[in-house]
Amino acid sequence: MATGESDVSRGTGMSRAAGAPGGPGPRPASSPPDPAGAARNAHAQLDLEQPAGTNFYVAIAGNIGVGKSMTTRLIGETFGWPMYFEPVINNPYLADYYQDMERWSFHLQVYFLSKRFEVQKKIMDHGGSAVQDRTIYEDVEIFAPTLHRRRCMDDRDYENYREIFRNMVSFLRAPDLLIYLHCEPETAMARIQERGRTIESDIPLDFLKDLHVAYEDWLERAPALCPVEIIDTERINLRDDLQAQEDLLRLINRRHRQKHQRIGRGLSRREGTA
């Protein structure tokens, strides 16, 4: 759950794969957190012209430590889109939650639900394209059910939580594309340890395993919400492999253009029947 930064950032139009883990193998301790200028220049030369007048909303999903923040930055800074990160910094519950999940799960989940709904409103009010690190749907479909099954959230609190979400759902805008970053729980644990956030030092492996099972189950249902692309980060190194980054950026650009074309065809049909 703790994967990212606390606020919205705006892209610069140049790509930058940040130093958060997102590919197999550890980054040497002496490596800088930002990639070399050659990587940014390589992506700057791509033909990724965005269709005018059609916004596109990309959401990055996946387990703790998989590399969502890094991928969000890559996309946002390449396309110049606002980037919405998880509220980790200044989160009043997170440290207590990792120390005592049973005591603080409900409080933390309601906090995340509120903040994620706030982000949804910002995305809709902005009206343009955007990329988001973890969605409100993951709170409801992954984290809350997992905590409930682990008996960290009792039946009363869980039903109350889901009722809050049901009252929100009609106001939500589904992503145009959900990108799920897959990795095994043991890999997620290694990446969490590599990035060395003190607040995450007590995350148990069995919790990551439970989240992994919940994600794999949700992926069967998620296409009913929006299109889904799965990237296996056990094999594909989005952090360091320029070709892998380029493939992802081109995929997003292609999907964006396809949406623009669908809207154009719809307008043409309506004009033809007017």
Give the CA distances from residue 238 to residues 66, 194, 245, 248, in Å, rounded to whole numbers and listed in that order.
Answer: 11, 16, 6, 9
Contact 65, 189 (CB under 8 A): yes
Pairing of strands 228-232, 130-133: unpaired
Are residues 74 and 210 in contact, defined by beta-carbon separation less than 8 angstroms? no
Q: Is 264 helix (H, G, I), strand (E, B) or coil?
A: helix
Q: Is 133 a catalytic residue?
A: yes
Active-site residue, from 7, 100, 133, 157: 133
* Burial profile 25-45: b = 16 or more Cβ within 10 angstroms, e = fewer: eebeeeeeeebeeebbebbee
- Distance (Å, rounded) from C-alpha 257 to C-alpha 274? 26
Q: Which residues are catalytic?
A: 133
